[in-house]
Structure formats: structure tokens, C-alpha cells
A and B are shown apart, each in its own frame.
Chain A
Amino acid sequence: MIASDMRTKIDRLISAGQLGEGLHFLSRLWAQEKSTATASFLVSRFERLRPQLKLLPYRVGILRSFTVEPMVPLLRAAAFCAGIDLQVYLSDFNAYVQEIVDPSSSLYEFAADAVILAIQTRDIAPALWNSFSLLERERNHALVAQITGDFGNWVREFRRHSRAHLIIHNLEQPVAPSAGILDGQSAEGQKAAIEEINRELRALCAEQVGVYALDYDAMAARHGRASWHDEYKWSTVRLPIAAPNLIHLVNEWVRFLHPLTGKVAKVLVTDLDNTLWGGILGEDGMDGICLGSEYPGSAFQELHRVLIDLQQRGIVLAICSKNNRTEALEALQNHPGMLLKPNHFAAVRINWEEKVQNLRELAAELNVGIDALALLDDSPVEREQVRRALPEVFLIDLPSEPSQFACAVRESPIFERLVLSSEDAHRSAMYQAQQERQQLQQAVSSREDFYRSLQQEAEIAPITKATLARAAQLIKKTNQFNLTNQRYTEQQILELAASRDWECFSMRVQDRFGDNGLVGVALLHHNCEMCEVDTFLLSCRVIGRTVETAFLAFLVEHAWARGARRLQGWFVPSSKNAAAESFYPRHGFHLVEQNAKGGLWSLDLAQQVVACPEWIRLVIRNGAE
């Protein structure tokens, strides 16, 4: 459908009150034509629909040394399509230092969730950008040290006043070095100097929580440095980026926005025929399908490589395909061109059932919400069916040409991550162990026998920098076994952990099948003789294995030892946390208050104890006595 027809259709759907379809076509229009005109159209329609939509509000501040105004509608349009209602604050040109150091600046007043620091090389370091002299080594060194030091100071100053995430553009290389090819011969040339700053910037981001580098230089190179700029507009309206490239910077921002707002897929569910290989296995047979080093088989192998990359990033892979199960698994195991093997997949649905039902089952088996699934399927018909029945599923629009499949997946921002915990990297192995556990549970008759046979060990420790990323991830994402649904950022957790009245604990669980990783978080707030459980949550991975009792037993002991006489905590019901509803009463707590928010439960520590189940070995680490 051409864009102008799509606009007419969208307006018709909206005025007919067909909201869902209207939204769908708005996203389609955006996918088809990410231009300034389309963005303007989209933003005006979303603004009108906003009261009827459940959008996630998010606030982004942009500190900049150049014109970014034309990028704002593009960014807001992209965010709207992702379900995010984005408010944007722009600093004055080159006012970033004042905005950062002044605690009462408009930036801090705006209360951003994330701040982008977008400074160009030519603005922050004109001497590195133009007329760079290889001969002035001392001066060049001093310049690099000064800029690196400035960035460090700004980040520390920013952290004193704000908990927001901070995204810093790194410095771009000039299109051509001042010294020409001579620059490549010098270890201390122009390119090397800018690289050095970028290296230091990366190190700075790595050591700070919630501070991230955006590789602006690589982005400009990727899209063609020679045609990246528009020098006319730079000199007239301070817009350095050429019109067709504005969207590339916006897309890069969107890649950060997805993980920051949690709009990400945890599981990629892939089809088989014409998706993981060319041809139809049932008709062409294992020898007939296309998969290998020659085109078109090479295009599918490239997709395999991308999926393996995603798995390394912590994204779980699953299969949903209409095929004969035995035949398909055999091809996965034995086809010489197959890079993905059956053990790459944590769950498999290869049958002739409806895709929608299979997806529901996969989500249940992997213990994730439907909205955590992304579907990779070459058939537009299947995708359309899934979209209508399960609009929460992320659908990856595959082009018809297989050589573009890999790129389509790689470009999707729903697989981006900003931090990687060791759990992420080993998630797939954990799911496999989970399958084995379930098989054992079926084999063992009584529940207690099952618990005993698991040989579980719960290790409790204060949250440290090493475990912070995972703890924050749990706090952000856990919905089922979560008593209060309090959400904290990494930065906030760090502050709580440093405060005298608060204690932050994590629990790691191992069993005979392997390490489940960090699966529990509890935050305690001490107030004289009263100790309040502010947060208590358990990853869905270990629900139903009594480890929550072990964790609570520790908290009870610990609070008593610290002088508390009463341990209390709220249960705040949500649409998803029924699994935790009976947690307090089950362990002898009494209801002392009930209001619209929920119930407050209390345990008299002088009278009552909570025993750790005999089948769990409790290990207390690092001063968490």
C-alpha cells in the first residue's frame, strides 16, 4: 500500500474507533517510510489517541552541541510505535556544562529518566578535528587528557544530582585526516588521538552504573562517513547531519530506549521451513533444503550466526514450526550446513497445531509472559494470524529476500541489551536443566521427596557491584513472585545499600542440575525494633521449590540478631502476583493492617521463628550474618 493511501486508511480507522487496527497501520506506515513527514503525521495522530492508549511515559533530556530539533519528531514517532510516550527536553546549544553542574538547572528540573550527551568532536575539540598537527605531540597529548578528564568530571557531577541513565555520544573521526595518508603512519596521529578519547570514554562508562557510550563514530562510518554531513546546514542552522541520515541517529537512540524501558524480547521463537533453511523439509527432504556456504543456503547460515549471537546476549531460542517433529529434529542434528543444533533451543513445538496455541504453550513452558516472545517467521499469513490473536508478541518483519533476514533480526532494537549478567549468558543452559528437573519431578512420587532429590543450596549475600546488574534486572522485571512490586534502578539500589537503615540481599540457588543463578532479592528497612521487608521477590525459575522459605528464614534470623523485635511486610496484589499471595500467612505472619494498597503482615520475632526447610542447605556469605 502506498503511503498516502495508508494515511487515509489510518484516519478512517481512527474515526471509526478501530483503535487496534489504527495503531497497527501507524506502525506499518512508520516501518515503511521513516521520514520527517511521516513522523509528523504519526505524532499528531498519537497525540490525539494518547488518552485512549496505555503508553509508557518516559522522559529524555538531550544535552547537545548541535541542532537536534528535527530529530525529536522522528524519535517520538518511533517511541510511540514501541508503546512509549516520550517527552523530550533540549538544552540550549553548548550549555551542557552549566546544565550538568548547576543542581537547579532546567535539566534536573525536567526529571529525565535518561539523558543523552551529544557533543561533536569539532565542538569539544576543534584542534583535533581541523588543522591537526602531527608535530605538536605535547599539545595533542594534553588535549586528549583534558577532554577525557572533562568527561569524567561531568559524569561524576551528573551523578551527584541525578539518578537518570546517561548516554554519551563518543567522538567521531573526521571524514579525511588533516595529514592525509601520513596520519595512518603515526601512532600518535589524529585518528589515534580521537580513538584514545573514545577508549577512555568506554572505560568510564564501564566503571559507572547507568552510564553508557553510544558509538557515534561507528554509526557515522556504518552509514557512510563521506555522505554523513551537510556542511551547508551546519554553517547556516548548526545541523551537521544530512537529511537522509537523521533517522540513523534516531534509530541508534531507539536501540538504547528499548532496553531502558524494558521493551525487549526475552525469547526468540523461530519457524523452520524457509526461515532457518530454504525450502520445505517435508517436501524437499534433508538433502533438498538450502543451507550451506553457497547462496542461497549461505543467507540462512548467516541468520543462524545472528541467532547464536542473540543467545550469547541472553536471549532464549525456541522453535515453533509446522513440520514432522522427528524429521525436523533429525535435520537440525545431522544436516551438514546446520549451525544451530537442537541443544541451542530451550523449548520446541514442532507439530501441526495452530501457531497461536503453540506460542501460548511455549511462553508457559519457559515461564515468561506472551509479551516476552518475538516471532521469526517467513510467512506473512502466520504473522498476521499471530498479530490478531496475540498482539503482545513482537513480530519481526522478514523481507522476502533471504539474504536480508540476518540484517532484519540484527536491526531489531528489541534484542538490544545494555548490561549483561552472567545469568543472561547462561540462561539457555539453565532452561535445559529446568527441563531435566521437570522430568525428575514426574518421576519422584511425593513433593518432599522431590525437594530432597534436588539437593538445593541457597546462598545469601549482600548485593555487591558484581551482582547489582542482575538484582536490578530482577527488581525491574519480576512480576509473579513479587510481594510489593517496588521498582528501583541500579543507582537507587546502590544508594539503599550504602544507607545505614537499609540492607539489600540476594539469593543464589544451586541444585544437582546446575546453578540457577541469582534468583532472589530482599530489601530490608530497619527502624529501631521494627524491620520492614520493603521488597521480596523470587525469579519464576525457582517458584515452587520452597527456597522462598529458606530466604525468609534467613531474614527472620538476621532481623532478630540486629535487634529487631518485629518483622513486617506488605503484600500488594497486582494482576500477576497471585503466586505470592499466601506467602506471609503461610509462614505464621498476622495481618495487622488492610487498605486499598494491600495488606500489612507482621511476625513477632520474640515468639515465632521461620525454619529453613531441611532439604535446603543455607549458606550465608560476606558478612550477611
Chain B
Amino acid sequence: MSLPVADRVRAIAADVLEVPAGTIRSDSSPQNVAPWDSVHHLNLVLALEQEFGVQFEPQEIATMTDIENIVSILRRRLNDHCA
């Protein structure tokens, strides 16, 4: 897949949080997306791990407070991986 990381994250979040594609923005978070509870958060983390082939560490999961943070954590991870 050649889509940018941010687009992939938003698409996955829309699937997992069961909201229409396109409604997830970079500032979307558990505070402003109604279905985003702890079970959905775990599912989102797992879906991202499956999609990007990574395994997050607890401190990373703890800082996944909105989409923007998730994207930057993933970017860091994927760059680390390449380096």
C-alpha cells in the first residue's frame, strides 16, 4: 500500500470505531468520537499493529491520546524500522 501513514490510520480508525470514512480528523480523540471507549481503543491498537506489523510498547499506547499522536508514534516506529 502506498497511501501515507496518516490516511491509513484514519481509514482504520473509521472502521474500528464504526464511524463513516472521512469523519476521522487528526484531532479526533476519545473526547470527540462517541464510540471511542476502552474496548474500541484496544481494538484500534491491535488493528494498527496488524496493519503496520509493529508491536507497541505500553508507554506508546499510553500516549495515543488522539489521531495525530498515533500517527507520529507510528511514523517514528516505521522510520526506526527502516534505519
A70, B42: Cα distance in complex, Å = 7
- Tell whether B39 is near chain A: CB-to-CB under 8 Å: yes
Asked if B15 contacts A37 (CB within 8 A), the reply is yes
Asked if A36 contacts B16 (CB within 8 A), the reply is yes
- Tell whether B33 is near chain A: CB-to-CB under 8 Å: no
- Tell whether B64 is near chain A: CB-to-CB under 8 Å: no
* One of A130-138, A238-246, A406-414, A591-599 contacting the partner: A238-246
- Tell whether B5 is near chain A: CB-to-CB under 8 Å: no
A69, B40: Cα distance in complex, Å = 10
A4, B15: Cα distance in complex, Å = 11
- Given A4-B11, A70-B42, check contact A40 B18 (CB 8 Å): yes
Interface hits, A7-66 → B, CB 8 Å? 7, 35-38, 40-41, 44
CB nearest to A236 among chain B residues: B58
Contacts of A41 in B (CB 8 A): 15
CB nearest to B17 among chain A residues: A40
Nearest CB on A from B51, distance (A) = 7
Nearest CB on B from A28, distance (A) = 17
The range of chain A's interface size is 20 to 34
CB nearest to B40 among chain A residues: A40
Contacts of A237 in B (CB 8 A): 42
Asked if A232 contacts B58 (CB within 8 A), the reply is yes
Nearest CB on A from B50, distance (A) = 5
Asked if A244 contacts B50 (CB within 8 A), the reply is yes
- Given A36-B47, A232-B55, check contact A69 B42 (CB 8 Å): yes
Partner of A73, one of B43, B56, B57: B43
A237, B45: Cα distance in complex, Å = 12
Contacts of A246 in B (CB 8 A): 46
- Tell whether A92 is near chain B: CB-to-CB under 8 Å: no
A69, B21: Cα distance in complex, Å = 24
Interface hits, B14-53 → A, CB 8 Å? 15-16, 18, 21, 39, 42-43, 45-47, 49-51, 53
Partner of A232, one of B15, B50, B57: B57
- Tell whether B78 is near chain A: CB-to-CB under 8 Å: no
Interface hits, A224-252 → B, CB 8 Å? 230, 232, 235-237, 239, 242-244, 246
Asked if B50 contacts A35 (CB within 8 A), the reply is yes
- Could you write out 26 A-B pairs with CB less than 8 Å apart? A4-B3, A35-B50, A36-B46, A36-B47, A36-B50, A37-B12, A37-B15, A37-B16, A37-B50, A38-B15, A40-B47, A44-B18, A67-B42, A69-B42, A70-B46, A73-B43, A235-B58, A236-B58, A236-B61, A237-B42, A243-B45, A243-B47, A243-B49, A243-B50, A244-B50, A246-B46
